[in-house]
Structure 1
Amino acid sequence: MRFEAGQTVVRRYRRGPWRTWAQPMRVIQDDDAGLLLWAPEGGEFARLIDVDGRSTREVSPDRMQDPKLELHAWQGNSVLILMPPGAGYSVWWFFSGGEFTGWYVNLEKPYLRQDDGVETTDLVLDIVATPDRQWEWKDTDEFAEFVGHPLYFDRAAAAAIQDEADRLTKLIDSGEFPFDVTHTGFRPDPGWPLPRFEPGALDR
């Protein structure tokens, strides 16, 4: 089952029994290259927050007090996300004021399709790259902290995640797809409404 260009789907993250993130996004294309999604600044998203206001960036879900998905507005940039089929990562193109400002590589499990979107699991380690392909690691301390945690990854899995990340940095260095000019000139239809959750979407 493939999604239709123009429809809104929900991109979700899961950690064990918890949904930790959900974001409605517009489908740009869904083909052999992967699922390409668009989220403009101002659109809705939800993330798991506990009663103390802590997110999963600060504490694992099993240590949260009464965690719930809390609704927010996406701020700071607009983002185009490519999720290649079967890949252990997604590639993000960031835009500000309509101009491409760089890539973000999110290490994550291959996504699973659902009736209204897709679900994956974040693997913590990330890469940030400028338009001229100067890159740096992100969240390395957090990645190291969660090695061995039963909700995250053991040492062997962490090594495999790092190997895949290293492979992707070589693609950045060489300017190979998707770190070439592909999608850097993307312009959304100005008539598209902001993506929002349908009633009950956060409960699915």
Structure 2
Amino acid sequence: MPESPAVNGPGPASPPPRLAGVSSAGTSPTDPVSRLAAGAASDGAARSLATAAPYTPGEVVVHRSFTTKRLVFVRVGHVVGHDERGLRLWIPHGCPMAVELSADGRGLRDMPFAEWIRQPTVMTTTVWRGPNIFMLVPPRGANSVWWFWDWQGRFVRWYINLEEPAVAWRHDGLVGVDTTDHDLDLWVTPERTWEWKDEHELEERLAFPDHYWVPDPDAVRAEGERLLRLVEAGAFPFDGTWTDFRPDPSWRTPDALPAGWDRPRA
């Protein structure tokens, strides 16, 4: 997951090699989505995005990331739409957020993982200082796809965040989406060149299986390769859809995280 990506920098100098010999993912128990399905028990109000009642455009939504059952990252945005293509969210620059930090204010990426797992941590409220994000969470899939624009409003790239299949929930009037980030990600340029991101983080953390939350790294990479076949084919969602998106000007970013943002994982 990017913290504050430099979205207007150059993409890869030349297209990486095309994928070869990778079969498409289906719905069998051995496909990456099935292997990466969320293991946390859902409460009665939680559903997969494929079966959840649709969220309403304009609703305020809490997007949360966990390491198994431990809350580590929260952002607030608005529902753009929710249909058979998935749940679309708008997470604006400056929205309220919370992130897990060490007692001295450092984050997961500010120290080796061997040091991080020995740190006392606390959820710290702040604001999102990265760029605006348009996010597509698919109804079935171990990923979300993010659209980034520069500060002049020009679309500059997609970001594929590899993660557990999302769970949607409603509780006391609050709506949310819960997932677990799988660390390995992909940048994709408008010309559909691509590069893997954070491979070193995945490799470093796999050495600590008692503390790490990614149980099947091969399935994570297979899910990324499945998405790359869509990239190389210019297929949805990498076909130009929503690259001209603009948020509803009537939406107002909340001043603070809503009550219930830190409820147990759905």
Normalised to the residue count of structure 2, the TM-score between the two structures is 0.70
Instruction: Specify the alignment match of 1:138 in structure 2.
Output: 197
Residues 105-162 of structure 1 deviation map (CA, whole Å, 9 limit, x = unaligned)? 00000011121201000011000111111211110000112225233234xx111111
Determine the C-alpha separation between the residues in 1 that align with 2:131 and 2:237. Answer: 20
Q: 1:179 to 1:133 in 2, by over 3 A?
A: same
2:184 aligned partner: 125
Note if 1:113 corresponds to 2:113: no
Of the candidates 214, 234, 246, which is equivalent to residue 153 of structure 1? Answer: 214
For residues 176 and 117 of structure 1, what CA distance do their matches in structure 2 show? 28
The secondary structure found in structure 1 opposite 2:94 is coil
Which sections of structure 2, spanning at least 5 residues, go unmatched?
1-52
| Residues in 2 aligned to 1:144 and 1:29: alpha-carbon distance in whole angstroms | 36
Equivalent residue for 1:48?
Answer: 100
**Greater Cα shift, 69-78 or 10-19:** 69-78
- The letter for the 1-side match of 2:213 is Y
C-alpha distance 60-120 of structure 1, shift in aligned 2 (>3 A)? farther
For structure 1, list consecutive stretches of 5 or more residues without a partner in the other structure.
Answer: none
Match of 2:231 in 1: 172
Whether the aligned pair in 2 keeps the contact of 1:39 and 1:195 (CA below 8 Å) is: no
Instruction: Tell me the residue number matched to 1:86.
Output: 140
Percent identity at matched positions?
37
CA RMSD of aligned residues (A): 2.0
Q: Select the structure that is richer in strand.
A: 1
Deviation at 1:172, TM superposition (A): 1.3
Classify 1:196/1:33 alpha carbon distance in 2 versus 1 (closer, same or farther; 3 Å).
farther
Question: Is 2:109 the partner of 1:33?
Answer: no
Residues 40-99 of structure 1, C-alpha deviation per residue, up to 9 Å, x if partnerless? 112122111111323233437972533122122222411100000121000000122322
Match of 2:251 among 192, 200, 204: 192
Q: Give 2:78's aligned amino acid.
A: R
Cα displacement (A) at 1:190: 2.4
- Displacement of 1:104 after TM fit? 0.3
- Checking the alignment, whether the CA contact within 8 Å between 2:145 and 2:160 is kept in structure 1 is yes
* Normalised TM-score (structure 1): 0.90
Greater Rg over alpha carbons, structure: 2
Letter in 2 for 1:113: A
**Matched positions, count:** 202
Larger mean Cα displacement after TM superposition, 158-167 or 188-197: 188-197
| One-letter amino acid of the structure 2 residue matched with residue 166 of structure 1 | E
Check the 8 A contact 2:64/2:177 in 1, yes or no.
yes
- 1:94–1:103 Cα contact (<8 Å) kept: yes
Residue 202 of structure 2: SS of its match in structure 1? helix
SS at match of 2:124: strand
2:221 to 157, 162, 175: 162
8 Å CA contact 1:52–1:65 kept in 2: the answer is no
